[in-house]
Amino acid sequence: MKIFSEELVDEAARVNHVADLSHATIGETLLVAQYLEQKTGIPFIRMDQGSPGLPANRYGIEAEKRALDSGIGSQYPAAAGVKELKDAAAEFVKAFIDIDISPRACIPTVGSVAGSFGSFIACCQRDKTKDKVLFIDPGFPIQKSQLRVLGIAWKEFDIFHHRGQALRTKLEEMLGSNDIAVIVYSNPNNPAWISLEEEELQIIGELATKHDAIVLEDLAYFAMESRRDLSHPYLPPFVRTAARYTDNYILMLSSSKIFSYAGQRMALVCISDKLFDRHFPALAERYHDTGVFGPTFIASIQYMITSGCTATTQYGYAEMLRLSCQGKINFVEDTREYAIRAQKMKKIFCDNGFTITYPKDVTEEIGNGFFFSLSFPGLTGSQLVKELIHYGVSSINLDTTGSMQQGVRACTSRMRDELYPVLDERMKMFAKDHAL
């Protein structure tokens, strides 16, 4: 038996101007869920928006307070970032990825969204023959929305059937036209939580060098891959990255998930030193500057987007990174709660006829963490996302992420202990109503 009637769900969509609930954006799904919850008082299982569900890191908060008390609020922050954050960022990358990047090439941005926006501009303007972005999907829908704003074309493919060495064949095909400026992916992945393995990252790095494409690696869920203990600074295993195999890379490190610091909108764009110093005549011509990638990115592009990042938040982020390198903050352990939630939620769904849409990486089953993907026999992703709404469960259709598979994305961040029995009861009803 459905909890919310067809009429009530249609009303919620109509009132919130959602034209097609089966392909709704995260924001639209959020509005519909909130409307139904407020109108009926019946709590929703919120699997739509990937907003942190843990308290913000207290060390960052205290560092921000100290910074504000010091009087820095009266001064504009430098576009390149405060020294303390740049130094801490370079050390953090060394401690947990074992990659050497100089502090000058670590640039704060107002969240990774601003970081990718500026990166798309710089990368796609550096060479007039390379004007497209390649997405290894499924991925973060906002990045394609950014390209629509910028008027930049893109190519994409679903990695589902192209894991391991098959990825090389597919990438060679996609890069063969030599018009790709950027290769984009998240690792671990939003929405499916797959993780690229070392062999695949080597393939990406080698082909990025061969075809002079820049790898834009979104590490929003840094070290949250639950199958390996990545919590020990300066000790293996280190976070996997294509940066070991190419000098053409930009790493995006966000504070939002690993430190639950989303409200402060702080991230880092870490550019390889060789790319940072590389000269591009097309950039010099456009911006009437030296055309060197790093300085152009900072002064001529990123500053036009953010005009600098909030100074106090830079000091807060710097403190969290610094203490992580010293082993005084174990952000990996702090975020392990998401993996626990994912394991419990997956069991409830799978016990009631659901399957994991992206069940494994190349050599092992996917880990547990912030997201996972769900399918149900006989239902398309469009049908499933709408049906789940009727049972008080909100999610997003995988096809909005570039996936070619039929299913939905589930987020663990808003799950609470008292909601597990509620979810179990509702999915038992769902399974009964959708019996094969």
What is the pLDDT at residue 261?
Answer: 96
Q: Which residues contact 219 (CB under 8 A, 6 or more apart)?
A: 186, 187, 239, 241, 251, 252, 253, 254
pLDDT digits (tens, 9 = 90+) for 211-246: 999 999 999 999 998 899 999 999 999 999 999 999
The dihedral sign for the CA sequence 373, 378, 384, 390: negative
Task: Work out the pLDDT band at 384, boundaries 50, 70, 90.
Answer: very high
Average pLDDT of span 360-377:
95
CATH topology of domain 58-325: Aspartate Aminotransferase; domain 2 (3.40.640)
**Cα–Cα distance, 358 to 129 (Å, whole number):** 35
Kindly tell me the burial class for residue 201, based on how many C-beta atoms sit within 10 Å of its own C-beta (0-12, 13-18, 19 or more). buried
Q: In DSSP terms, which residues pair with 253 in a beta bridge?
A: 268
At residue 409, the 3 state secondary structure works out as strand
Q: Which residues contact 146 (CB under 8 A, 6 or more apart)?
A: 113, 116, 117, 120
What mean pLDDT value characterizes the chain? Answer: 95
Does pLDDT of 88 surpass 90? yes
The first and second tokens of residue 27, run together, are 């924001």
Average pLDDT of span 145-152:
97
At residue 8, the 3 state secondary structure works out as helix
pLDDT digits (tens, 9 = 90+) for 269-305: 999 999 999 999 999 999 999 999 999 999 999 999 9
What is the pLDDT at residue 165?
Answer: 96
Closest CA to 152 of 126, 174, 125: 125
**Cα–Cα distance, 421 to 426 (Å, whole number):** 9
Average pLDDT of span 56-82:
95
Average pLDDT of span 146-165:
97
Does pLDDT of 21 surpass 90? no
CATH 3.90.1150.100 fits 6-54+336-433, yes or no: yes
Task: Work out the pLDDT band at 50, boundaries 50, 70, 90.
Answer: confident
CB 269 within 8 A of CB 92: no
Task: Work out the pLDDT band at 420, boundaries 50, 70, 90.
Answer: very high
Strands (E), 231-343: 249-254, 267-271
**Cα–Cα distance, 328 to 269 (Å, whole number):** 24
Residues of the chain with CATH 3.40.640.10: 58-325
Task: Work out the percent of the chain whose per-residue pLDDT is above 70.
Answer: 100
Average pLDDT of span 93-117:
97
What is the pLDDT at residue 376?
Answer: 97
Does pLDDT of 107 surpass 90? yes
Residues of the chain with CATH 3.90.1150.100: 6-54+336-433
Q: Apex CA 146: angle with CA 361 and CA 273, to 5°?
A: 70
**Cα–Cα distance, 101 to 95 (Å, whole number):** 11
- Lowest-pLDDT choice from 8-22, 202-216, 267-281, 360-374: 8-22
> Which amino acid is it at 107?
I
Pairing of strands 249-254, 267-271: antiparallel
At residue 32, the 3 state secondary structure works out as helix
CB 269 within 8 A of CB 111: no
Kindly tell me the burial class for residue 6, based on how many C-beta atoms sit within 10 Å of its own C-beta (0-12, 13-18, 19 or more). exposed
What is the pLDDT at residue 226?
Answer: 86
Neighbouring C-beta atoms of residue 224, cutoff 10 Å: 24
What is the pLDDT at residue 10?
Answer: 86
What is the pLDDT at residue 436?
Answer: 67
Average pLDDT of span 401-416:
95
Task: Work out the pLDDT band at 92, boundaries 50, 70, 90.
Answer: very high
